[in-house]
Chains A and B, each alone.
Chain A
Amino acid sequence: MKRQSGFIWKLYTQRQLLVMSIPIMLYVILFSYVPLWGWTMAFQNFKPAKSFFEQDWVGLRWFSFLFSDEVFLRTIRNTVAMSFINTSLGFVTAIGFSLLLNEVKHLMFKRSIQTISYLPHFLSWVIVTGLVSNMLAVENGAVNDLLMFLGIIKEPILWLSVPNYFWGIIGATYVWKEVGWNTIIYLAAISGIDPTMYESAEIDGCNRYRKMWHITLPSIRPTIVILLIMSIGRILDAGFEMQYLLRNGLVQDMSDTIDIYVLMFGLQRSNYSLATAAGLFKNVVNISLIFVANWIAKKNGQERLV
């Protein structure tokens, strides 16, 4: 028998893994990467009625349009800020909530709370923001009523008319709707922790907090780090629905995200090229950030994405 070269031999020994993975990878290439020819639209004045070869090529016109528009630049600031606020609040609350929920020993109680907590996830943003508007109203608004009752404020505040409150309102709304849903993944990770670790820690005389700190948290750290890296790659995606539904003329300088801008100047106006240019910009930034975050994680010996 002839000796195979190292690589070919390796391929041969891993033939089962190859059979299992190559079709899936071809699928990923076909569905995620082949359509990327569409990015060319960012450099055209794209009209859907024309074929690829008939389109007008306009070079970087749409990019220079975007980056010379102070409104667009402001939406970048707003997007990054809200995305950062939502992500950090989202992480802290979800991890905190799962740790505390994990301490609940009564199974039915625990399950009920878990089920209830993710209910808002099934509501559309229209409903949730509608409730938020009602609660922030000056007349019969729960928030103003509560704060006046506690004596914190004397006059009801028109919360949604103050630009500086907007990011905070969005953050709170986001957490309200998604905290329960965000815990699912941590609870799954926690349930994978070997119970014998807790037993031995108890024997060592660890109290509840030390167990949380020294066993639970480190055990779900890979999950946390991975999710964190992934969300860094979403820094330019702050969504648009909740902001769009809660915004008004007085706060629009703080409320409008990139996606709202694209909606108003691109999608709703059938300006596909502008929408693609903004999308391409987001994709490039997101991917670069992913690699940076991944590199940092690697340097610190943390879990990483690739």
Chain B
Amino acid sequence: MMKINISATKIEDITFNVLNALLMVLLSAITLYPFWNTIAVSFNEALDTVRGGINLLPRKWTLYNYKVIFSNSAIFHAFFISVARTVINMVTSVFFTAMIAYVLSRKNFVFRKPFTVLLVLSMYVNAGLIPTYFLMKNLHLLNSFLVYIIPGIIYAFNFIVVRTYLQTIPESIIESVRIDGGSDFTIFLKIVLPLSRPVLATIALFVAVGAWNMWFDTMIYNSGRSELHTLQYKLMEYLQSSQAQSRSASDVGSMSLSQSVSVVTPVSIRAAITVIAALPILVVYPFMQRHFVVGLNVGGVKE
């Protein structure tokens, strides 16, 4: 009887694993399709794409959509600005968010309640564009790199995510450090930061993706200084100009010459810029993914 039982569970186990794997493959196929399709479009001749019907492979292969974007050297500078802001955003935001989350996770902290309310509600109040603009102006942040950094130091959502996670760190560990004479700052640096690596990696990812994709702040605060334009902003500019080019495509002459290889359309440019913008994050992600797994081992330290 015992034996049969075990093999029954085993069979069930295998069936589950196989079915689950199949389901996962199916799901990834469904979620891979849009990005895959975008890549295919980005490598397809723009005027051929107008016909529609590009699915998994380009019909008329070309690198022109990318060539057009990289032909302007300003894009490399913009890339550098984007990397700089993303890295700095990530480091400052993760550090300060973790710090305030630690403080507000202390149950006996005097201002715990009012501070938490203030922080949480900041997520739900929205002053609108013009008052925010005045704030930046009065702080002399217009037309400067700092306007990319300073407004993004704390996101309430991330604070809550970290605070929720910190509750899983046993109080005993923290108390033991305190008894050894460790200050709160030491506890934060030596215990909280290392122990919450998985969650910090998560919010780091959130902040990084958010910062990387941001272009609105460039438009509002820094549009007049082209040396501060970010990659996404630059790519938006290309997209717009491809729309203008499509309008003039009906001008005389351009209609009748055979020049299909050298035309861009909004659809093609959009596909190419999407790939360009997503690529760095996709390259960096596997390195961040490791930290999620490290979390597994850290979990064992508890008790």
Closest to B32 in A: A116
Q: Please, what's the 1-or-0 string for B1-28, where 1 marks a CB less than 8 Å from any CB in chain A?
A: 0000000010011001100110111011
Chain B binding surface SS class: helix
User: Are the C-beta atoms of A103 and B130 separated by less than 8 Å?
Assistant: no
Within 8 Å CB of A140, what residues of B?
53
Q: Known contacts A100-B24, A192-B199, A283-B125: does B130 contact A48 (CB below 8 Å)?
A: yes
**Tally of contact residues, B, Cβ under 8 A:** 93
Chain B residues near A286 (CB-CB < 8 A): 124
B117 lies within 8 A of A279 (CB): no
| Contacts known (A122-B35, A184-B202); A25 close to B115, Cβ less than 8 A | yes
In angstroms, Cα B135 to Cα A29, docked, is 12
Q: Does A113 contact B (CB under 8 A)?
A: yes
Contact present for A283 and B124 (CB under 8 Å): yes
Q: Check if B184 sits within 8 Å of A17, measured CB to CB.
A: yes
Cβ of A143 to closest chain B Cβ, rounded Å: 13
Return chain B residues, CB-CB under 8 Å to A122: 35, 209, 213, 274, 277-278, 281-282
Assuming the A-B contacts A36-B125, A36-B131, are A20 and B188 also in contact, with contact meaning beta carbons closer than 8 angstroms in the complex? yes
Name the distance in Å between B153's Cβ and chain A's nearest Cβ: 6
Structural contact, B274 and A124, CB atoms closer than 8 A: yes
Could you tell me if B128 and A119 are in contact, using CB atoms closer than 8 angstroms? no
* Distance of A282 Cα from B103 Cα, bound (Å): 31
- Whether A17 lies near B164 (C-beta < 8 A) is no
A185 to B200, CA, bound (A): 11
Contacts A116-B31, A127-B270: A31 and B164 contacting too (C-beta < 8 A)? no
Q: Is B110 an interface residue (CB 8 A)?
A: yes
Q: When chains A and B are docked, how far (Å) is the Cα of A39 from the Cα of B129?
A: 11
Whether A113 lies near B292 (C-beta < 8 A) is no
B240 CB within 8 Å of chain A: no
Q: Which of B65-73, B83-91, B154-162, B222-230 contacts A (4 or more CB under 8 A)?
A: B154-162
Nearest B residue to A124 via CB reads B274
Binds B, one of A58-66, A104-112, A157-165: A104-112
Q: Which of A176, A192, A207 contacts B299 (CB 8 A)?
A: A192
Bound form: Cα–Cα A196–B296 in Å: 11
Query: Closest B-chain residue to A119, C-beta based?
Result: B35
Q: Are A305 and B120 in contact (CB under 8 A)?
A: yes
* Chain A: interface size category: 35 or more
Given A187-B292, A233-B124: A119 and B32 interface contact (C-beta under 8 Å):
yes
Taking a contact as CB atoms closer than 8 A, the residue among B9, B27, B201 that contacts A97 in the complex is B27
Contact in complex: B184, A16 (CB < 8 Å): yes
Contact of A191 among B53, B115, B299 (CB under 8 A): B299
- B34 / chain A contacts, CB cutoff of 8 Å: 119-120, 123, 127-128, 131, 176-177
Chain B residue contacts of A112, Cβ below 8 A: 28
Contact between chains at A41 and B128 (CB < 8 Å): yes
Q: Are A127 and B27 in contact (CB under 8 A)?
A: no
Given A122-B281, A189-B165, check contact A21 B104 (CB 8 Å): yes
Q: Which residue of B lies closest to A283 (CB)?
A: B125
Instruction: Check B99 for interface membership: any CB of A closer than 8 A.
Output: yes
**Contact A117 B160, beta carbon cutoff 8 Å:** no
Is B270 touching A124 in the complex (CB atoms < 8 A)?
Answer: yes
Which residues 253-306 of A have a CB within 8 angstroms of B?
272, 275-276, 279, 282-283, 286-287, 290, 303, 305-306
Cross-chain pairs A/B with CB under 8 angstroms, 23 sampled? A10-B110, A14-B109, A14-B110, A20-B184, A25-B111, A27-B154, A38-B127, A38-B131, A100-B20, A103-B20, A113-B28, A119-B282, A123-B38, A127-B274, A179-B31, A187-B292, A188-B202, A188-B292, A188-B295, A189-B165, A192-B198, A283-B124, A287-B124
Can you add 20 more A-B contacts, CB < 8 Å, to A27-B154, A36-B125?
Answer: A17-B184, A18-B111, A28-B118, A32-B122, A41-B128, A104-B24, A116-B31, A119-B282, A120-B31, A120-B34, A185-B161, A187-B292, A188-B198, A188-B199, A192-B165, A193-B299, A208-B13, A230-B123, A272-B128, A303-B164
